[in-house]
A and B are shown apart, each in its own frame.
Chain A
């Protein structure tokens, strides 16, 4: 398979498509309210969405995700080419691309960055590029990535935060004996090549990013991006306060608007209530081991799991919990995930069928089980009480255990829970990440449920080096069909990202993977306020 793209052209197209037909205005500051602060601004060693979702503003990658989150476009690399045998990728670096300290980005920086990211000793994201064997220079302004096996997701992997290009010399000059010690120092005042540079950070309070004068991309006015002079993140953990600050004008944007407030903010004057398409899915995880904590586990019976699926009125949950913002699912992965397969709602609500399945499984009289719920999380508590009531109709007595996140994660990892509520968001525009956690048992025993299907395991391994797009699609269709009919989950709904912006904010986007993209954002001059 030979694929050469005129990257620069594609990038120009994407950028102009992303901008509305308004004349952009430059300068100014955008103040954005976040629910929690970042922890560690290192692309490779971070481990939380609070970091991941803002990293791309500081650190540029070789390729960039398109705004719909499904494709790739030029980043630091202007041309990319996967070899016919799928065993290598050559990339040409952008002429004149610089780090935020003004130094040119060299092939050596790229090689060092990718090898650091792929090192299994560094952080928890190296599995996304485990196919990389080594990286070598290619001519004076290119690199060649040699793979251990063909990797159909490699181009998408080069858009993910952990493959960001960092300056080798400046990083290695930091004090410290370990990579992590250096990274801690480096991350205090990072040098990247993204559209913004970190200017100041008062932890738990605010973070200020200012424009990187060396950033390569051009805006719709032909001048360098970003349009904004600065972006300020304010940390406001309370949802109601965050919304009040937006309404009072102290914020220009606020993330994680509770679903219950979406309709109200849609009607509010001066505010655009945005619902960005997302890969976020909400589901119940069921332990399928024969015994849990020494007791026989009814959930090990696939018919019982199907019965619970049929007894779940997803439409009612979507109405009550997400206030209609969510939508039913047709596969365990979101419909925004590439290679999603499935038509129509999974297990449409059917109480009679659920009862019949319970009887067939030998549980006509029902059974008792428990569900782990995140204490203080209103959405989860609403879902849990609705499930309690719905499943009660087929004789399942559901006991709710409210615990904090660390406790829940602990029981989850030990595999001695019965059921729990969970949410998932993809980090890469490829189905392999979610599938490896949900369905491929060697990763984490299929969401720590103990579910294992040999056909799925085999198909997944095959698909990981499958370069024939049509065949890979078939493999994923089969995996999803098996998981959706016999798997360890009840898919509840998928939801967009609810972000409220003031009407004078334009060009901001949160892509389906969650990344907040400020490079094309601009604020029109405030007229009367």
Chain B
């Protein structure tokens, strides 16, 4: 399947059409909160409920997902392999998607869900993303260079919102 330009909205709509429970994290979450740093992929934390994983597998199949680390073969993501906190780095017809069983200090879907906000993409098309405080916390916990680089702008956004 030929790769198209990164299209976040197409990915979200296919996940929602398949009734997948997920939380948008990472660079897209930062952009939703006001970061102007371009991002080339979409990170989600999936609910690891078995029924949800089956729905996720179907959505990923519709997206034409495959593991992007394996350049010599096309491995397709399967529900039974997404039951842990592991990270599945995928490419899809609409751009890279990372399916993350847990982030930062092993924070998984049930742990993160109370710290999310709802975003309305369009009428009756809604998804959840981390609230700003939790996004900052996970970036601090992860401690990778790329996460640390994003922290100053997230902290300034938080200050700017508090100043209003």
Tell me, yes or no, whether A binds B.
no
A residues within 8 Å of B by Cβ?
none
B residues within 8 Å of A by Cβ?
none
